[in-house]
Amino acid sequence: MARYTLLEALRTRFPIMVLVAVALLLLISFFVEALAVTESARFQASVYAAGMRLAGVFIAALYVLVSIARELNDKGFDIVLALDLPRAHYVLGKLLGFLALAAVVAVVAGLPLLFLAPWEAVLQWVASLTLELAIVVALALFCMLTFSQLVPAASFVAAFYLLARSITSIRLMGAYPLAGAESLSHQVMSTLVEALALVTPAFDQWTETAWLVNQPAAWPALLAIGWQSVIYVLLLAAAAMFDLYRKNF
Amino acid sequence: MSTKPLTARLNQRRERPVATVPRTVLVMLAAALVAQIALKILQPAPSARAEALSRPPTADTLRALSFGEPIALGALLTLQLQAYDNQPGISIPFAQLDYGRVIAWLESILGLDPLSQYPLFMAAQLYGQVPDPAKQREMCSFVHREFERDPNRRWRWLAHCAIMAKHRLHDMPLALAYADAIARRATQAPNWARQMRIFVLEDMGEIEAAKVLLGGLLASGEITDPREVQFLMERLKGLQGAENSSSPSRK
């Protein structure tokens, strides 16, 4: 299942999409580099890295959503159900294929950075982007299997990603308001935000451009990101399996 | 034809009972959820550092970046700026912040949303409260500059600075200059504010003066935001408490 998922991606226009995104962002970064009077390499690396991170997330998430939607609509999934294949294996197979795809996207995105930043920092950036994309593709798989429709699933993935990128800021802003800290509404909101933070990865600490242009990240920090990713991907995979087992087709 | 209600039939079609989910999947789901929550609980709470405050882009740049929503961007930036000093445990005193940068941020936010009172409120009531006369003057100077651009909307923050100049900075000419500016330029300000220069010239204690200013503001009904009213009420109560505890008993 994982192999076929990977093959499907390679035989569609997915690789071209990734390469076009890389080329386009490289062009933009060269344009920025030409405009900068000083620190031109720093400008170029930061523009490319920040843009490629977003583009990678967008392409990977959309690909997973559309791929599963096509299987559901073309009744390809019905054929899979008719086979002697547990539903969990279907989810795990698909997930493994998408995770491999996430790694490919991250590596391709990171290759141009080898000319713009130290190799150690690039390695960390690529590793972190792989983990970030792993969560995003697992989330997209879960959403598509749960909602069965493209628009709600894509909206949920986009909203979740925005929340994950800003959850730390939201916590900081809501932690100690200037007034009304004792009010019930604030207490409820504050509790809600903290509860949300418990089940949301803080993506603002991942795949930082600062690692490339300032100094590489501390390896223990990257290890923490790794653990968080493994747990979260497992959680999303289990949730996807749970929903799929409960579905009647 | 089935006699069951339509919703019951639909539910029956769409979802199978939880018992159909293999135990391994349920255990994996529960274990991953517990691990995720445990990991998050073990992580330290986020905290911002004073030195992390960078210089802001100009208001024009921010306006271009706001995609046609300068007021919303201004509100977000205000809350972001507020988060730099309003830390868990209030461990970062305002005095540690680079006031030049704070003022630059406040100016940029006002540039995005000139009708917002929030940046001036922060300047007068928060950043202006540090026990550092130079920084108090810096904030008052900023408030005065912004007051000159729109006196009828921004007079109350300059009124606060006038009181501060008199009682904190002990700079009577400065206090009088601010009170005069309100009387001359803020033609739509209420009488009590425009007559404040009289108070400035009187020899009043700081608590008394602050009570007049805050009480006047609250009584005028100009402040409609309940959170701001609550904030000012709390300050007024605090001032009254301080006055009662410092005055000798009359029994």
Tell me: the pLDDT tens digits for B200-212? 655 555 566 656 6
Distance from CA of A114 to the nearest CA of B (A): 28
Position A122 confidence tier, pLDDT thresholds 50, 70, 90: very high
Asked if pLDDT for residue A53 goes beyond 60, the answer is: yes
Closest to A242 (Cβ–Cβ): which among B25, B36, B87?
Answer: B25
Asked if pLDDT for residue A109 goes beyond 60, the answer is: yes
Residue at B218 is within a domain: yes
Q: What pLDDT, on a 0 to 100 scale, did the predictor assign at position B147? A: 93
d(CA A151, CA A145): 13
Average confidence score pLDDT of chain B: 77
Q: What pLDDT, on a 0 to 100 scale, did the predictor assign at position A4? A: 81
d(CA B173, CA A9): 75
Residues of B in contact with A246 (CB under 8 A): 15-18, 20-21
d(CA B52, CA A33): 26
Distance from CA of A175 to the nearest CA of B (A): 6
Residue at B202 is within a domain: yes
Residue at B97 is within a domain: no
Tokens 């007051």 belong to: B147
Asked if pLDDT for residue B23 goes beyond 80, the answer is: yes
Answer for the pair A188, A210: CB distance below 8 angstroms, yes or no: no
Closest to A172 (Cβ–Cβ): which among B16, B26, B46?
Answer: B46
Closest to A179 (Cβ–Cβ): which among B40, B45, B234?
Answer: B234
Closest to A88 (Cβ–Cβ): which among B20, B22, B230?
Answer: B22
Tokens 């300050």 belong to: B235
Position B245 confidence tier, pLDDT thresholds 50, 70, 90: low
Residue at B71 is within a domain: no
Kindly report whether the global pTM for this prediction surpasses the value 0.90. Answer: no
Q: What pLDDT, on a 0 to 100 scale, did the predictor assign at position A176? A: 62
Nearby residues of A206 by Cβ (< 8 Å), 6 or more positions away: A128, A131, A132, A225
**Reported ipTM:** 0.76
Asked if pLDDT for residue A37 goes beyond 90, the answer is: no
Answer for the pair B172, B159: CB distance below 8 angstroms, yes or no: no
The H or E element containing residue A153 is: helix A150-175
Tell me how many residue pairs between chain A and chain B have CB atoms under 8 A apart.
Answer: 99
d(CA A178, CA B85): 11
3-state secondary structure of B125: helix
Which one is predicted more confidently, A240 or B94? A240
Residue at B61 is within a domain: no
d(CA A86, CA B243): 76
Burial class (CB in 10 A: 0-12, 13-18, 19+), B245: exposed
Average confidence score pLDDT of chain A: 88
Which one is predicted more confidently, A138 or A6? A138
Residue at B115 is within a domain: no
Tokens 């410092």 belong to: B246
Q: What is the mean pLDDT of residues A127-145?
A: 95
Closest to B83 (Cβ–Cβ): which among A86, A88, A169?
Answer: A169
Backbone angles phi, psi at A208, to 5 degrees: -75, 135
Suggest the residue from B25, B87, B91, B234 to mutate for an interface test with chain A (most A CBs closer than 10 A).
Answer: B25
Which one is predicted more confidently, A204 or A178? A204
- Domain count for chain B, please give it: 1
Burial class (CB in 10 A: 0-12, 13-18, 19+), B145: exposed
Q: What pLDDT, on a 0 to 100 scale, did the predictor assign at position B250? A: 39
Residue at B211 is within a domain: yes
- CB–CB contact A169 B80 (8 Å): yes
Nearby residues of B48 by Cβ (< 8 Å), 6 or more positions away: A172, B83, B84, B87, B92
Q: What pLDDT, on a 0 to 100 scale, did the predictor assign at position B11? A: 54
Which one is predicted more confidently, B153 or B248? B153
Position A18 confidence tier, pLDDT thresholds 50, 70, 90: very high
The residue of chain B with its CA nearest to that of A92 is B25
Residues of A in contact with B37 (CB under 8 A): 198-199
Give the Cβ contact number of residue B26 at 10 Å.
16
In terms of Cα–Cα distance, which of A236, A242, A142 is closest to B19?
A242
Angle value at C-alpha A89, between A83 and A90, nearest 5 degrees: 65
Residue at B215 is within a domain: yes
Position A128 confidence tier, pLDDT thresholds 50, 70, 90: very high
d(CA A120, CA A211): 9
Answer for the pair A97, A134: CB distance below 8 angstroms, yes or no: no
At B27-66, the pLDDT tens digits run 999 999 999 899 888 888 776 655 567 788 877 788 777 7
The residue of chain A with its CA nearest to that of B232 is A179
Q: What pLDDT, on a 0 to 100 scale, did the predictor assign at position B66? A: 73
Helix A150-175 vs helix A184-198: crossing angle, to nearest 10: 120
3-state secondary structure of B142: helix
Which one is predicted more confidently, B196 or A177? B196
Closest to A232 (Cβ–Cβ): which among B36, B83, B87?
Answer: B36
In one letter, which amino acid is A215?
A: Q
- CB–CB contact B33 A237 (8 Å): no
Distance from CA of A16 to the nearest CA of B (A): 30
Asked if pLDDT for residue B189 goes beyond 90, the answer is: no
Q: What pLDDT, on a 0 to 100 scale, did the predictor assign at position B8? A: 56
Answer for the pair A49, A209: CB distance below 8 angstroms, yes or no: yes
**Structural domain harbouring B209:** 156-251
Q: What is the mean pLDDT of residues B160-171?
A: 86
Closest to A246 (Cβ–Cβ): which among B21, B32, B43?
Answer: B21
In one letter, which amino acid is B168?
A: R
Asked if pLDDT for residue B249 goes beyond 50, the answer is: no
Answer for the pair A9, A63: CB distance below 8 angstroms, yes or no: yes
Distance from CA of B86 to the nearest CA of A (A): 6
- CB–CB contact A180 B230 (8 Å): yes
Q: What is the mean pLDDT of residues A115-123?
A: 91
Q: What pLDDT, on a 0 to 100 scale, did the predictor assign at position A12? A: 83
* Helical ranges in A36-149 per DSSP H: 40-73, 76-82, 87-110, 119-147
CB-based burial, B33-60: b 16+ in 10 Å, e otherwise: bebbeebbeeeeebebebeebeebeebe
Asked if pLDDT for residue A73 goes beyond 70, the answer is: yes
Give the Cβ contact number of residue B87 at 10 Å.
19
Suggest the residue from A169, A178, A190 to mutate for an interface test with chain B (most B CBs closer than 10 A).
Answer: A178
Burial class (CB in 10 A: 0-12, 13-18, 19+), A15: middle
3-state secondary structure of A208: coil
Distance from CA of A223 to the nearest CA of B (A): 13
Position A84 confidence tier, pLDDT thresholds 50, 70, 90: confident
d(CA B77, CA A169): 11
Q: What pLDDT, on a 0 to 100 scale, did the predictor assign at position B248? A: 46
At B61-106, the pLDDT tens digits run 887 777 777 887 887 788 778 776 654 444 456 667 788 888 999 9
At A182-232, the pLDDT tens digits run 778 878 888 888 888 898 998 888 898 888 888 888 888 899 999 999 999
Distance from CA of B46 to the nearest CA of A (A): 7
Q: What pLDDT, on a 0 to 100 scale, did the predictor assign at position B90? A: 45
Give the Cβ contact number of residue A146 at 10 Å.
18
- CB–CB contact B126 A197 (8 Å): no
